[in-house]
C-alpha cells in the first residue's frame, strides 16, 4: 500500500487517445478500437506501470460532442464499445490493476448498474468501480426519448436556468450513488449458505429490502447479486464546479478535478473537504485526483512538435477541460510533485495519443516517480480499495439487524 508520501496514479483510456487526431498517428490502430484484445493490451500496459486503476470513457453520443451539441465532423472517431462490458471482458486477464468504467447515470437505472458493477467486482476479484457521469445533452436524451434538456452553451453555464439543470442532474447522481451502495449492502456477506445436505442455499434473513424513496428513484431491492468482494466497489466522479464538488464530497470515494494551478487545486480540495463535513463524512477518506492531458517525448521541443503535428491534422489547437502538459517525463514528474504538495492524493493522466503517450507514462514517467520515492515499486494489495488505502466497509444492514436482535 502506498505511504502518505506517495502519489496515486490512474490512467484515463479513451479510444486512440484524447487528442481528436490521435487515431491518425503512425502507431495508432484505429481498426482495433472495437477489439477486446486492444483494450486488454491497454490495461496490461497500465498494469505494467503499476497504476492504481484505469478509467474507461463512455457516452451515448455517436462521436465527440461539446456543450453546444454533436460535432458534425467526419474526421473524428465515431462509435465505441460499452465501457462496463469492456471492463468485465478485460478484468480476468489482469491481476492487480483496478478497472473503473464510466456510466452515464442520467439515462440509466441504478438497479441495473449495481449488479453490473458487482459482477465486475467478482470477475476482477475485488478491483471494480464505476465513474458516475451526468449528461444534459439534448441529442443524447433524444436517443432514449424519456427526457428533454434545453440547449446549453458555455456562456450560459453560470445562468440560474443552467445551474438549476446542473443541480438537478447532480442531485440525481447523488441519489444514484446512494441506491448503488444500498443495493451492494442488501446481501450480508454470509447470506449464501450453499449447504447441499440441508438444501439451503441462502439465509433469507440476511437479504434486505433497501426501501429507497427519493425524487428520482423508488427502489425496493434487494439486489439479485450477492455483496461484492470489496463490499463497496469504488465510486468516482469528475467535477468542475461547486455542484459536482458537493457530489464528490458527499457520495464518492474518488473525485477527479481539473485545477488550473496548485493554488486552484488547494481551493478545490478545501471545497470538497467542506462538502464531506456537511455530509457527515469528515472521518472518511475521499481521494482527490488531478486530471492532466499529457503529450510526452524525450525533449520538450520534440513533445511540442508532436502536439503541433496533431493540431495541424485536426485543423485546430487542442483544448481540454483539464490542464495540458507537453514535455518530458521529468517535467511531468515536477508538475505532479507540485500538485501533490497542493494536497491532491493522486493524478489521473489522459494520454494524448495511444499507444505512444500511454507507453511513455509507464516506461518513462513511472520510473522517474519511483526514483523520486513518490510512487510504488510493486503492488502490495490485491484489491482496488487496498491500493487506495480504503478499508472494506461494514454492511449497514447487518449492523442494523444486530441491534434488532439485541
Q: How high is the pLDDT of residue 67? A: 57
Q: How high is the pLDDT of residue 237? A: 98
Per-residue pLDDT reduced to its tens digit, 364-383: 999 999 999 999 999 999 99
Whole-angstrom Cα distance, residue 126 to residue 153? 40
Encode 116-160 in three state secondary structure.
HHHHHHHHCCCCEEEEEECCCCHHHHHHHCCCCCCCCCHHHCCCH
* String of DSSP letters for 26-56: TT--GGGTT-HHHHHHHHHHHHHTT-SEEEE
Does the pLDDT of residue 322 top 80, yes or no?
A: yes
> Residue 144 has which C-alpha cell?
432514449
| Cis peptide, bond prior to residue 87, ω within 30 of zero | no
Per-residue pLDDT reduced to its tens digit, 174-194: 999 999 999 999 999 999 999
Known binding-site residue numbers: 58, 102
Known binding-site residue numbers for FMN: 58, 102
| Residue spans per domain, the chain | 8-405
Per-residue pLDDT reduced to its tens digit, 123-152: 999 999 999 999 988 888 888 888 888 887
Which spans in 159-210 are helix H?
A: 160-185
CATH number for the segment(s) 8-405: 3.20.20.30
CB 185 within 8 A of CB 208: yes
Q: How high is the pLDDT of residue 396? A: 96
CB 281 within 8 A of CB 306: no
Instruction: Mean pLDDT check: name the lowest of 37-51, 66-80, 200-214, 251-265.
Output: 66-80
Say what the alpha-carbon torsion angle 255, 256, 258, 262 is, to the nearest 10 degrees: 60
Amino acid at each position: 500500500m502506498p505511504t502518505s508520501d506517495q502519489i496515486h496514479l490512474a490512467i484515463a483510456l479513451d479510444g486512440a487517445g484524447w487528442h481528436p487526431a490521435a487515431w491518425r498517428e503512425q502507431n495508432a490502430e484505429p481498426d482495433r478500437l472495437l477489439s477486446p484484445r486492444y483494450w486488454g493490451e491497454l490495461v496490461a500496459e497500465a498494469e505494467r506501470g503499476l497504476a492504481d486503476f484505469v478509467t474507461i470513457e463512455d457516452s451515448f453520443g455517436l462521436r465527440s460532442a461539446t456543450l453546444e451539441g454533436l460535432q458534425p465532423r467526419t474526421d473524428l472517431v465515431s462509435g465505441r464499445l460499452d465501457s462496463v462490458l469492456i471492463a468485465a471482458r478485460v478484468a480476468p486477464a489482469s491481476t492487480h490493476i483496478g478497472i473503473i468504467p464510466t456510466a452515464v447515470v442520467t439515462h440509466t437505472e441504478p438497479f441495473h448498474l449495481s449488479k453490473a458493477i458487482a459482477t465486475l467486482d467478482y470477475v476482477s476479484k475485488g478491483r471494480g468501480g464505476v465513474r458516475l457521469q451526468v449528461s444534459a445533452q439534448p441529442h443524447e436524451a433524444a436517443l432514449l426519448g424519456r427526457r428533454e434538456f434545453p440547449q446549453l452553451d458555455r456562456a450560459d453555464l453560470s445562468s440560474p436556468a443552467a445551474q438549476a439543470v446542473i443541480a438537478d442532474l447532480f442531485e440525481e447522481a447523488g441519489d444514484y450513488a446512494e441506491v448503488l451502495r444500498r443495493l451492494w449492502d442488501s446481501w450480508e456477506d454470509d447470506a449464501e449458505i450453499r449447504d447441499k445436505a440441508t438444501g439451503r442455499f441462502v439465509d433469507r434473513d440476511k437479504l434486505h429490502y433497501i426501501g429507497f424513496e427519493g425524487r428520482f428513484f423508488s427502489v425496493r431491492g434487494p439486489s439479485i447479486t450477492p455483496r461484492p468482494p470489496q463490499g463497496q466497489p469504488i465510486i468516482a466522479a469528475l467535477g468542475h464546479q461547486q455542484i459536482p464538488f458537493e457530489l464528490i464530497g458527499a457520495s464518492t470515494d474518488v473525485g477527479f478535478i481539473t485545477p488550473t494551478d496548485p493554488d486552484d487545486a488547494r481551493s478545490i480540495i478545501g471545497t470538497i473537504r467542506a462538502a464531506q463535513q456537511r455530509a457527515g463524512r469528515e472521518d472518511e477518506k475521499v481521494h482527490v485526483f488531478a486530471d492532466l492531458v499529457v503529450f510526452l517525448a524525450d525533449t520538450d521541443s520534440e513533445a511540442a512538435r508532436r502536439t503541433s503535428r496533431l493540431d495541424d491534422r485536426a485543423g485546430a489547437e487542442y483544448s481540454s477541460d483539464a490542464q495540458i502538459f507537453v514535455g518530458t517525463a521529468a517535467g511531468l514528474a515536477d508538475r505532479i510533485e507540485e500538485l501533490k504538495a497542493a494536497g491532491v492524493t493522486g493524478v489521473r493522466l489522459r494520454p494524448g495519443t495511444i499507444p505512444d503517450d500511454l507507453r511513455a507514462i509507464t516506461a518513462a514517467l513511472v520510473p522517474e516517480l519511483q526514483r523520486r520515492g513518490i510512487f510504488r515499486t510493486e503492488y502490495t494489495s490485491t484489491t482496488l480499495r487496498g491500493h487506495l488505502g480504503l478499508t472494506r466497509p461494514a454492511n449497514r444492514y447487518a449492523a442494523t439487524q444486530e441491534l434488532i436482535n439485541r
